[in-house]
């Protein structure tokens, strides 16, 4: 038995050695190797002493936030020791570039600059972009996005004066408790890790940045952090070869430039117990000989306890060189490291020729990255050049593509029928209203609650009581640290509460944490909807909310298994695109520099010229909101800034926002006819001069109606006092209509308005003449047809379904007056400042309910209605109006009569008239919308799928302020939108 066992051991050893010595001949060699014997490398080699050739193998740590003393230390190492490179850590881009320029100037041989920027410069430098962590990237199904990220990361790193990124991490994270890799890994599936690693690597290297796959031979199955101790991996060779080393082999085959070696104790690969960084068996025997890797071999940081424990600085660096490493990262004692290597050469442990070979490799890298023609980098505009719109758009695309829906019972996502939902949100672990909650509010009215992560039963019970009033609860579970670690610092009571919510059939949970942490909450997998975002950031929170309401899709797949709850690869596709996506201009094919620059400039011009105190701008293209911004103040004389949530008086935009959609819907149902007249629906108008005039003419403003009637003047006596049956200072049953605080209108005065309209004379000629008279009648016509209250009808059929919470009449009944932007100081009729009620005199005398004026909204909610028009009657996955109806209502009806108008909607001038035109030059003939007297502009263009809203209160303090018209601000901004569209 002993002989047989010994024979088996010998055979296993032979087989193992054969495997070690087997070379893969299909590998693509790193590109930089072509320069090892170039003229430039030869010339540099000739200029270097033996010690200086050793120094080229050394890279020390540099910081751009440590001041003059640190800079002087680095300069001394450069000048006296002739080190080969620097790895930059914390600081800021501007200082880093300045320092690198100074360091390069001091260097005899150009320095190789490196950074550990696995998720971009934001990992190390202030005010720079962080792309998603690799765990989130592992969920993405489109590897082209990973490649694009690699290219962008390379561009940014090179812009800061560096040439080498210690990335990607290609460790297969198959240990959920891994404290050091974890979220830094693409996941637990070796194939997915490999595909993502190759895409990221190729993106960076194709853009001229050298990369290193790390941490060889695989740091994924450890439960010890090598920064503090030496982890041990006890798997047999076969497992290590087929799993941990698999991604490294494939990246080597694809031409990766470098490989970083981990600090690990792996008995199956080296039985001596030395860290893999110092193991000749692992680095030379496996990486170089068996895998045939000829690229740059880099140590993990040589100051980590995993390698320094029991080893002196300098001595440990020599050991790393002897093991086969080319580049020593974070050497702590440079003079001693050089001396120790010199001693090893003298002892014949390593040859000078071998050192020279590795030095040539370092120099070849320098030539490949362009250091043979080094030029200092400018500092000017560096932040703008780093954080470009393109980069910001890519960042959002990556987060969006990573979002993973783990549960979606009954296809609840995306939410539909908003009118049936009463929504509450609970943020767990957040002190204040979160970005997630603010983003939810963009789509619908949502009541927000916050719950501390250490909350006790009494606090939880209060929220439970409140939640009984809602039929949908959206829960955000937020992280308690900067990084998405595998921890869960929630009290037992809070965890139980999450479990209870998960058992309800009306709960949506968005988990803004490491997916492994899902396993630490009992029953969370029972939630009807469960979204995994992988990390907690403003962007993940915004996009998770957009996913819930159908602004975006979700197709991420879980890159790791979560205990027995979810398998790796699990993920439910959700199709969005049914409501607004809030994003960047570039995502919609628009140039943000042109768009934002011109819009900001024109708005500031209008505000400075006192054409408007402030306003809101809303722009969407292809259903993507690219600009939603508030400008200026409520009044010229105060300090109240306009907020995006503030409500504006829409004035005549009410015409296309209230009765018109109702009439279109009734037209679909054949309850309303464009060939019918007012008298067909309001018998009072029979035998009048307006009988039998078809609505097709009325709604296109060529029915010969008078433009307007000053109803309020009819309430006055000759001496200026009010007639006894018009106004009283106090309300009563006979005077219930509030016009102002001390003006209450008689209950029957609406009949007088109808009578004035009925008796008003007609114009002689049937041609275009704008008139609001019929729009006072339309709410009554809708009520006559439907048998329903007009406000209730449009709320239920449009505004509630759209989630347009602020699109409303009589806003002060629903919203605090502080959220309503004031309009005119009325010295003609009401003799008060108009704030919280409609500006139009006729509309206020109708009780604030008219189709001529009276609606209020913020830009976001008005946009939902306008986008429904642009979508030809569809929004939120629901059809409101038939496409054929919208096509009919939005086309010019009587162009031969020199009338540009559509049915209810305004249209561009039949011939462009320069600054006298009502639209921008490039607005298409298919476009339509309306303007409002208070300074409103609402317009859509189907040809470019473009929506534009301009909300302002230009009538403050007086309607005589016409500077907005003189400046043509609204149409100039509209033209800027077309100029921003990228071909």
Distance of alpha carbon 893 from alpha carbon 698, whole angstroms? 11
Q: Are residues 662 and 640 in the same domain?
A: no
Q: Which of 139, 76, 274 is nearest to 562 (CA)?
A: 139
Torsion (CA) 237, 243, 244, 248 in degrees, nearest 10: 110
Question: What's the domain count of the chain?
Answer: 4
Distance of alpha carbon 189 from alpha carbon 186, whole angstroms? 8
Q: Are residues 729 and 818 in the same domain?
A: yes
Q: What is the pLDDT of residue 116?
A: 97
At 13, the pLDDT band (50, 70, 90 cuts) reads very low
Question: What single string gives the DSSP state of each residue in 573-636?
Answer: -B---SS-EE--GGGGTB-HHHHHHHHHHHHHHHHHTTS-SEEEEEEEETTEEEEEEEEEBSST
At 712, the pLDDT band (50, 70, 90 cuts) reads confident
Q: What is the pLDDT of residue 307?
A: 83
Helix (H, G, I), strand (E, B) or coil at 405: strand
Q: Which two tokens stand for residue 326?
A: 């080319």
Q: Are residues 734 and 831 in the same domain?
A: yes
Q: What is the pLDDT of residue 125?
A: 98
Instruction: Give the rounded percent of residues in the chain with a pLDDT score beyond 70.
Output: 97
Q: Are residues 60 and 101 in the same domain?
A: yes
Buried-state track 235-261, b at ≥16 Cβ within 10 A, e below 16:
bebeebbebbbbbbbbbbbbbbbbbbb
- Phi and psi, residue 774, nearest 5°: -65, -25
At 26, the pLDDT band (50, 70, 90 cuts) reads low
Determine which helix (DSSP H) or strand (DSSP E) holds 112, and give its type and residue range: strand 112-115
Q: Are residues 37 and 185 in the same domain?
A: yes
Q: Is residue 30 part of a domain?
A: yes
Choose the final residue of a domain: 621, 646, 671: 646
Q: Where are the alpha helices (DSSP H) in 446-576?
A: 457-467, 492-503, 538-548
Average pLDDT of span 39-45: 98
Q: What is the pLDDT of residue 541?
A: 98
Helix (H, G, I), strand (E, B) or coil at 217: coil
Instruction: Dump pLDDT digits (tens) for 723-768.
Output: 888 999 999 999 999 999 999 999 999 999 999 999 999 999 999 9
Helix (H, G, I), strand (E, B) or coil at 330: coil
Q: 755 burial class (0-12, 13-18, 19+ CB within 10 angstroms)?
A: exposed
23 CB neighbour count, 10 Å cutoff: 13
Q: Are residues 36 and 93 in the same domain?
A: yes
Q: Is residue 796 part of a domain?
A: yes
Q: Are residues 542 and 605 in the same domain?
A: no
Distance of alpha carbon 89 from alpha carbon 201, whole angstroms? 21
Instruction: Dump pLDDT digits (tens) for 43-58.
Output: 999 999 999 999 999 9
Average pLDDT of span 217-230: 90
Q: Where are the alpha helices (DSSP H) in 528-577?
A: 538-548
Can you give the CATH number for the domain in which 436 is found? 3.40.50.1700
Determine which helix (DSSP H) or strand (DSSP E) holds 737, and give its type and residue range: strand 737-740
Distance of alpha carbon 904 from alpha carbon 659, whole angstroms? 10
Can you give the CATH number for the domain in which 822 is found? 3.40.710.10
Q: What is the pLDDT of residue 628?
A: 98
Torsion (CA) 720, 724, 727, 731 in degrees, nearest 10: 150
- Phi and psi, residue 363, nearest 5°: -65, -35
Cα 791 to the center of its chain, rounded Å: 36
Average pLDDT of span 669-687: 97
pLDDT above 70: residue 20: no
> What global pTM score does this model have?
0.94
Q: At what angle do helices 773-786 and 659-668 cross, to 10 degrees?
A: 40
Distance of alpha carbon 508 from alpha carbon 914, whole angstroms? 52
Contact residues for 415 (Cβ-Cβ < 8 A; gap 6+): 421, 443, 472, 548, 549, 550
Q: Which two tokens stand for residue 610?
A: 């006192």
Q: What share of the chain is helix, strand, coil (3-state, %, to 5)?
A: 40, 15, 45
Per the structure, the complete domain to which residue 333 belongs is given by 2-385
Give the C-alpha distances (Å, rounded to integers) separating 150 from 144, 197, 203. Answer: 10, 10, 4
Q: Which of 8-22, 224-238, 705-719, 890-904 has the lowest mean pLDDT?
A: 8-22
Q: At what angle do helices 39-47 and 352-368 cross, to 10 degrees?
A: 130
Instruction: Dump pLDDT digits (tens) for 493-510.
Output: 999 999 999 999 999 999
Q: Is residue 894 part of a domain?
A: no
Q: What angle do CA 118, 123, 129 make, to 5 degrees?
A: 100
Choose the final residue of a domain: 795, 830, 852: 852
Q: Which of 282-286, 655-659, 828-832 has the lowest mean pLDDT?
A: 828-832
Using the 8-state DSSP alphabet, how is residue 811 labeled? Answer: G
Distance of alpha carbon 977 from alpha carbon 546, whole angstroms? 24
Residue showing tokens 């929004």? 875
Average pLDDT of span 511-525: 96
Q: What is the pLDDT of residue 723?
A: 86
Q: What is the pLDDT of residue 14?
A: 41
Q: Are residues 624 and 719 in the same domain?
A: no
Instruction: Give the rounded percent of residues in the chain with a pLDDT score beyond 90.
Output: 91
Q: Is residue 939 part of a domain?
A: no
Can you give the CATH number for the domain in which 279 is found? 3.20.20.300
Instruction: Dump pLDDT digits (tens) for 230-250.
Output: 999 999 999 999 999 999 999
Q: Is residue 733 part of a domain?
A: yes
Average pLDDT of span 825-835: 92
Q: Which of 584, 578, 625, 546 is nearest to 947 (CA)?
A: 625
Q: Where are the alpha helices (DSSP H) in 313-451?
A: 315-323, 334-346, 352-368, 382-386, 389-402, 435-440
Q: Are residues 657 and 642 in the same domain?
A: no
Distance of alpha carbon 458 from alpha carbon 464, whole angstroms? 10
Contact residues for 718 (Cβ-Cβ < 8 A; gap 6+): none
**Sheet of 581-582, strand order:** 581-582, 624-632, 614-621, 946-952, 936-941, 928-932
Q: At what angle do helices 773-786 and 749-759 cross, to 10 degrees?
A: 120
Instruction: Dump pLDDT digits (tens) for 775-802.
Output: 999 999 999 999 999 999 999 999 999 9
Q: Is residue 343 part of a domain?
A: yes
Torsion (CA) 280, 282, 284, 288 in degrees, nearest 10: -170
Residue showing tokens 């060939």? 675
Q: Is residue 518 part of a domain?
A: yes
Termini Cα distance of the chain: 79
Q: Which two tokens stand for residue 355?
A: 């050192």
Handedness of CA 835, 841, 844, 848 (dihedral sign): negative
Q: Are residues 337 and 425 in the same domain?
A: no
- Phi and psi, residue 207, nearest 5°: -95, 10
Contact residues for 836 (Cβ-Cβ < 8 A; gap 6+): 811, 812, 817, 820, 822
Q: Which of 915, 896, 893, 897 is nearest to 907 (CA)?
A: 893
861 CB neighbour count, 10 Å cutoff: 21
Q: Are residues 765 and 742 in the same domain?
A: yes
Choose the final residue of a domain: 852, 886, 901: 852
pLDDT above 90: residue 72: yes
Q: Are residues 614 and 597 in the same domain?
A: yes
Q: Is residue 306 part of a domain?
A: yes
């Amino acid at each position: 038995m002993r002989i047989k066992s010994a024979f088996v051991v010998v055979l296993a050893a032979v087989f193992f050695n054969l495997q070690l010595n087997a070379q893969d001949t299909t590998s693509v060699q790193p590109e930089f190797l072509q320069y090892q014997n170039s003229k430039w490398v030869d010339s540099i080699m000739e200029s270097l002493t033996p010690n200086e050739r050793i120094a080229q193998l050394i890279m020390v740590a540099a910081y751009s936030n440590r001041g003059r003393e640190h800079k002087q230390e680095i300069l001394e190492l450069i000048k006296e020791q002739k080190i080969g490179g620097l790895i930059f850590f914390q600081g800021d881009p501007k200082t880093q570039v300045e320092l690198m320029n100074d360091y390069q100037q001091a260097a005899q041989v150009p320095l190789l600059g490196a950074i550990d920027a696995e998720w971009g410069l934001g990992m190390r430098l202030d005010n720079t972009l962080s792309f998603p962590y690799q765990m989130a990237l592992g969920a993405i199904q489109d590897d082209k996005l990973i490649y694009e990220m690699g290219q962008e990361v390379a561009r940014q790193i090179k812009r800061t004066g560096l040439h080498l990124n210690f990335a990607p991490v290609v460790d297969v994270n198959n240990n959920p408790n891994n404290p050091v890799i974890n979220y830094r890994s693409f996941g637990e599936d070796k194939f997915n890790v490999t595909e993502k690693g190759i895409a990221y690597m190729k993106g960076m290297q194709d853009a001229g940045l050298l990369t290193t796959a790390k941490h060889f031979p695989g740091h994924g199955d450890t439960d010890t952090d090598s920064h503090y101790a030496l982890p041990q991996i006890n798997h047999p060779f076969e497992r290590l070869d087929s799993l941990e080393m698999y991604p490294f082999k494939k990246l080597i085959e694809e031409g990766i430039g470098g490989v970083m070696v981990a600090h690990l104790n792996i008995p199956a690969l080296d039985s001596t117990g030395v860290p893999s960084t110092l193991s000749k068996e692992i680095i030379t025997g496996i990486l170089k000989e068996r895998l045939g890797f000829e690229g740059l071999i880099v140590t993990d940081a040589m100051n980590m306890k995993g390698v320094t424990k029991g080893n002196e600085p300098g001595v440990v660096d020599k050991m790393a060189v002897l093991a086969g490493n080319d580049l020593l990262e974070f050497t702590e004692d440079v003079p001693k490291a050089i001396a120790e290597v010199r001693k090893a050469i003298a002892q014949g442990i390593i040859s000078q020729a071998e050192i020279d070979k590795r030095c040539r490799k370092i120099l070849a890298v320098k030539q490949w990255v362009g250091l043979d023609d080094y030029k200092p980098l400018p500092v000017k505009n560096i932040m703008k050049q780093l954080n470009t719109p393109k980069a910001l758009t890519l960042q959002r695309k990556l987060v969006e593509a990573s979002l993973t829906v783990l549960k979606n019972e009954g296809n609840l996502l995306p939410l539909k029928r908003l009118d049936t939902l009463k929504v509450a949100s609970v943020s767990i672990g957040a002190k204040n209203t979160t970005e997630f909650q603010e983003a939810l509010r963009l789509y619908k009215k949502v009541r927000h609650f916050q719950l501390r992560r250490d909350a006790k039963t009494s606090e939880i019970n209060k929220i439970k009581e409140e939640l009984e009033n809602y039929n949908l609860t959206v829960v955000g579970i937020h992280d308690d640290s900067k990084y998405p670690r595998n921890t869960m610092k929630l009290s037992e009571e809070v965890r139980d509460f999450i479990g209870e919510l998960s058992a309800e059939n009306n709960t949506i949970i968005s988990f803004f944490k490491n997916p492994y942490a899902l396993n630490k909450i009992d029953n969370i997998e029972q939630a009807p909807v469960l979204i995994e975002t992988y990390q907690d950031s403003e962007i993940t929170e915004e996009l998770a909310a957009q996913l819930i309401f159908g602004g975006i899709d979700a197709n991420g797949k879980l890159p790791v298994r979560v205990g027995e709850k979810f398998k790796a690869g699990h993920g439910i596709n959700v199709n969005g695109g049914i409501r607004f996506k809030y994003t960047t201009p570039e995502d919609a094919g628009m140039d943000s520099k042109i768009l934002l620059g011109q819009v900001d400039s024109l708005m500031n011009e209008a505000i400075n010229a006192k054409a408007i105190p402030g306003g809101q701008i809303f722009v969407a293209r292809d259903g993507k909101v690219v600009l939603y911004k508030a400008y200026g103040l409520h009044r010229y004389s105060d300090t109240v800034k306009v907020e995006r949530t503030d409500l504006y008086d829409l004035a005549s935009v009410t015409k296309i926002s209230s009765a018109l959609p109702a009439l279109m819907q009734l037209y679909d149902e054949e309850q309303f006819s464009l060939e019918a007249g007012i008298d067909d629906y309001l018998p009072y108008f029979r035998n009048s001069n307006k009988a039998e005039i078809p609505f097709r003419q009325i709604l296109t403003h060529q029915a010969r109606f008078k433009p307007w009637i000053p109803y309020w003047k009819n309430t006055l006596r000759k001496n200026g006092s009010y007639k006894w049956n018009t106004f009283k200072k106090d309300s009563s049953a006979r005077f219930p209509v509030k016009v102002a605080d001390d003006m209450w209108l008689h209950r029957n005065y609406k009949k007088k308005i109808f009578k004035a309209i009925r008796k008003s004379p007609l114009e002689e000629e049937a041609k275009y003449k704008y008139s609001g008279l019929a729009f006072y009648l339309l709410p009554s016509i809708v009520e006559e047809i439907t048998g329903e209250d007009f406000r209730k009808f449009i709320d239920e059929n449009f505004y509630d379904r759209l989630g347009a919470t602020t699109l409303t009449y009589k806003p002060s009944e629903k919203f605090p007056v502080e959220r309503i932007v004031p309009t005119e100081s009325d010295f003609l009729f009401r003799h008060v400042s108009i704030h919280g009620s409609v500006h139009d005199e006729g509309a206020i005398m109708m009780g604030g309910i008219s189709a001529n004026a009276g609606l209020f909204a913020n830009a976001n909610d008005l946009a939902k209605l306008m986008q429904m028009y642009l979508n030809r009657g569809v929004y939120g996955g629901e059809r409101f109006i038939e496409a054929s109806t919208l096509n009919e209502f939005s086309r010019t009806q009587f162009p031969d009569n020199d009338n540009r108008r559509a049915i209810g909607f305004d249209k561009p001038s039949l011939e462009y008239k320069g600054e006298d035109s009502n639209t921008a030059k490039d607005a298409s003939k298919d476009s339509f919308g309306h303007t409002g007297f208070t300074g409103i502009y609402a317009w859509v263009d189907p040809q470019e799928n473009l929506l534009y809203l301009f909300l302002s209160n230009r009538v403050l303090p007086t309607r005589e302020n016409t500077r907005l018209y003189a400046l043509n601000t609204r149409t100039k901004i509209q033209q800027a939108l077309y100029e921003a569209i990228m071909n």
